[in-house]
Structure 1
Amino acid sequence: MKFPFQKRVRLAQGLWLLSWLAVFGGSFTFSLGVFLKTELHRRAEVMDNTEIHAVPNTLMMVGLASLGINFFAGRISQDSLDATRFPRWKTFLQPYFLLSIFFTALMLVSVIMSYAMKGNLEESLKIGLKNGIRFYKDTDTPGRCFQKETIDRLQMEFRCCGNTNFKDWFEVQWISNRYLDFTSKEVKDRIRSNVDGRYLLDGVPFSCCNPASPRPCIQYSLTNNSAHYNYEYQIEELNLFNRGCREALVNYYMGLMNTIGAGVLSVFLLQVTVVVSLRYLQTAMEGVVGQENTEIETEGYLLEKSVKETAKEYMDIVLKFLPLNQIGAAAGETGDGAGAQGEEKPATPAS
């Protein structure tokens, strides 16, 4: 693109404004990462792994990097208005663009990850909720004493019951032995009827009760129609929350992810605009450096060479600083020395 003096000035001024907008975008991205990580930590007791924290960790990292990248973009654009101050950035710009491209690409990766983490989230919640329900009764066990409160609050807040549905509670003993009367015939019969010696019943905790139900909540003997007046458990939809907590939490977190992904995508587009504009400004200003008349028309471009050649050039720069490359070079020199010594050694004649 051709850049007359006035066009360069307008580009520098516009880039300065864009860079500060992008600084706020970086702060926004970092804040989204902190918010998401906080929300995940709130439900850590019903989640099984930490892989799902990769998204908020990446968001926080690229948010902080964006602050630095765009701060320097603002300084560079400001110094571009004075041809005598711009040359001091010359050695800084090549590694700067390398870092900018890397973190901008990482921002796009974080957007893709936010949409693609549903499988990991479901698996994490499936195991975590299963354990949470199993340890519900262990209010006297250190490390598990708050599990009951966590599950009860979760079921009431998200209007859900069990892992998949309310029948998950039928498969575990969720009433502690300290609250069971072992002299009662009913308790003894229930324990004897189970192979594992557990007290199982077709009942659920109070937190599964739906307050929208027109009748008082039925928690026990849920599958026994004759145990309650005017009751059929297969059609009593309002008595308990029908939705499982795994589905409720996945929908909640994926809703957050979709919103965060859209927000970060807009910041990504702003970041790409800043990097592209700065590249045009840099190459246009390089034509002014060393000229007596600083108001001449110059040419700006994104790539001086082809994409393949440019990528190779940047890879060479990266490899130059990698310790692995230095070790490989040293090993090559050692091998050459050994080869030279081998050539000098006279051959032993066959006997």
Structure 2
Amino acid sequence: MREYTEKKETCGTICLKYLLFIFNFFFWLAGGAVMAVGAWTLAEKSDYISLLSSSTYSATAYILVVAGVVVMVTGILGCCATFKERRNLLRVYFILLLCIFLLEIIAGILAYIYYQQLSLELKQNLKNTMTQKYRREGEESVTSAVDKLQQEFKCCGSNNYTDWTDSLWIKSSEASGRKVPDSCCKTITDLCGRRDHPSNIYKESGCITKLENFIQEHLKIIGAVGISIACVQIFGMIFTCCLYKSLKSEPY
């Protein structure tokens, strides 16, 4: 009877080991995906971060990058802890899983909160950022972001092209008589911003709604990735606890 019980426990331990190994393999792949989403947000979409007064958007991306790296390392540690059947490694593995779980939940919550606040922030700050910092010394990142924004989304100004009448740069001699930046033009040529006719510039729409929609879509991705991976980790923590208990109950 004792031999049957020990054999049953051993079979259960082996099943848990393979379940945890499979989990760790997919967990490692998920870590790469999480890191890729965070890095993609920072690398490809970082131009527009300078137009935001809050650092929450970039913070969520950085959290995902850090979490992704830790997930990949943790996946490898989990495989080692599983097949070596070392309870001390399993404890470390569980603690790392818990830390990553909390990081990704935080990223998801930050993305959700900022999603709700984004519209108000842009309404309060985007026009001021564009008119006060465009082409100013030391604000090259803002200038580049504004030009890219207006060209990529085919818009002009925050609400519309008339916002540029309040621009410090447009009022200065450096603008050379331009009424809007050249990036407002449908076909960019030198000094094309002098002519504000609808056939020449994107006169019909401002950039605020388009930028808001763009960032909100990325916040949805960041939030969904963070929360989804965090939910999957719950299974990993359950498997780890079961394996730890199984090893602890076995005779040495």
- Assess if the C-alpha contact under 8 Å between 2:130 and 2:167 holds in 1: no
Q: State which of 226, 232, 240 in structure 2 corresponds to 1:278.
A: 240
Which secondary structure does the structure 2 equivalent of 1:43 belong to? helix
> What is the CA–CA distance in structure 2 between the aligned matches of 1:269 and 1:25, rounded to whole Å?
12
Structure 1 unaligned spans of 5+? 80-85, 182-200, 212-216, 223-235, 291-351
Structure 2: runs of 5+ lacking an equivalent:
188-192
Alignment TM-score, normalising by the size of structure 1: 0.58
Aligned residue pairs, count: 239
Partner-residue secondary structure (3-state), 1:168? helix
> 2: CA distance between counterparts of 1:146 and 1:55?
20
Q: Rg: which structure is higher?
A: 1
1:115 equivalent in structure 2: 112
Q: Please, which moves more after superposition, 24-33 or 142-151? A: 142-151
Alignment of 1:291-302 (within 5 A): none
Deviation at 1:110, TM superposition (A): 1.3
Given candidates 193, 214, 220, the residue that maps to 1:258 is 220
From 149, 153, 171, the counterpart of 1:158: 153
Distance of 1:90 and 1:147 partners within structure 2: 52
How far off is 1:23 after superposition?
Answer: 1.0
Note closer, same or farther for the CA distance 1:125–1:26 as it changes in structure 2 (3 Å cut): farther
Partner of 2:172: 176
Q: CA deviation at 1:271?
A: 1.9
Distance 1:58 1:146 in 2: 23
- 1:1-351 correspondence runs (5 A): 4-79=9-84, 86=85, 89-122=86-119, 123=121, 126-136=124-134, 138=135, 142-144=137-139, 148=143, 150-172=145-167, 174=170, 176-178=172-174, 203-209=179-185, 219-220=195-196, 240-290=202-252
Change beyond 3 A, Cα 1:240–1:90? closer
More helix by share: 2
- Compute the displacement of 1:144 (Å): 4.2
Give yes or no for contact 1:206–1:219 (8 Å, CA) kept in 2: no
CA distance in 1, matches of 2:118, 2:44: 13
Q: Deviations over 1:19-74 (max 9, x none)?
A: 01101111211121112222453224423343432201211222222123222221
RMSD: 3.3
Identity score, percent: 19
Q: Pick closer, same or farther for the CA change 1:51–1:147 going to 2, 3 Å.
A: closer
CA shift at 1:180, angstroms?
A: 5.3
